[in-house]
A = this chain, B = another copy of it.
Amino acid sequence: MKRILLRVAYDGTNYCGWQLQPNGLAVEEVINRELSALLHENIAVIGASRTDSGVHAQGNVCVFDTHSRIPGEKFSYALNARMPQDIVIQESREVAADFHPRHCDCTKTYEYRIYNATFPNPLMRRYTHFLYRPLDVSVMREAAKYLVGEHDFKSFCSVNTQVKETVRTINRLEVLAEPADGISGHRIITIRINGNGFLYNMVRIIAGTLIEVGYHWRTPDSIAETLAACDRAGAGATAPACGLTLMGIHYDEALLTVKESHREVSVDAKRVVEMPDTTDIEK
């Protein structure tokens, strides 16, 4: 038995999100289906981040356990041959048998992209949120400073959450602007955020609030009050899913590395076990 990590990129447009849902096809579902068919085992991956319906990923992470003798780094090739065009396994590798992608320290990087121009751009429409009114990036950058660090982000969390603990740390929060289409005033504005964990809808609520700052509907320093109030009603609207991409999840390499002692146990176990060992698969 060995644990395999997959780094997964997907265009979220046609999916109801990462996690299995009754109302549509989930990314996780496609991966489980194709892995199970490939390996002739009943595979249920454990995902690192349950991205919402319509949200994209450049580097979400999941793990699964298998008896397969395919080398860790070859799963990506075998699996991509079966995958639809909008889900791609960017990397696969064997990891420590006790590595759990949610129950350990990590940081995540998200990008929220805004296409800010007179009219939408059909070549950007799937991966950006279109806004025609020009945003003032300098005040957005000022506002962003108030969010960096450890804070109670209750105001920036959907009221639908079941999470009790709402303190999180944002390590970096940048607001980037680059020219688009070669047309004066047309820009792609990227809100890039790295932190140790994010509450439900947190990045999209931060994006929606920074947009309101960029329109001068609220001042940069009002963000301090919004944080202190611990009240979702005080923050801005939740920005649309299509603008959001989970760029990557960063783990300490020591957590991932296969311990040699574990590998030996695993090899011994293989010799004697007749039935699949599913004791360490999360149900």
Contacts and interface: CB of A to CB of B under 8 A. Distances in A.
Interface of A: 9-11, 56, 58-59, 76, 80, 85-90, 118-123, 125-127, 181-183, 245, 247-248
Q: How many copies does the complex hold?
A: 2
A123 B76 contact: no
A183 B7 CA distance: 12
A136 B150 CA distance: 46
Given A90-B183, A182-B248, A183-B90, A10 B122 contact: yes
Nearest to A248: B182
A76 B117 CA distance: 13
A247 B123 CA distance: 11
Contact of A88 (B56, B86, B122): B122
A46 B121 CA distance: 22
Given A10-B122, A80-B119, A90-B183, 6 more contacts: A56-B123, A59-B181, A76-B119, A88-B122, A89-B119, A126-B126
A127 B125 CA distance: 12
A9 B125 contact: no
A154 B131 CA distance: 45
Given A182-B248, A248-B182, A85 B122 contact: yes
Given A182-B248, A248-B182, A88 B119 contact: yes
A90 B76 contact: no
Contacts of A59: 181
Contacts of A89: 119
A204 to B, nearest CB: 18
Given A58-B181, A181-B58, A120 B88 contact: yes
A86 B125 contact: yes
A80 B120 CA distance: 9
A11 B127 CA distance: 13
A120 B85 CA distance: 8
A247 to B, nearest CB: 8
Nearest to A180: B58
Among A123, A127, A183, residue most surrounded by chain B Cβ atoms (within 10 Å): A123
Contacts of A183: 90
Nearest to A181: B58
Nearest to A58: B181
22 contacts: A9-B121, A9-B123, A10-B122, A11-B123, A56-B122, A58-B121, A58-B123, A58-B181, A59-B181, A80-B119, A85-B122, A86-B122, A86-B125, A87-B122, A88-B120, A88-B121, A88-B122, A90-B118, A90-B183, A123-B245, A182-B247, A182-B248
Contacts of A181: 9, 58-59, 90
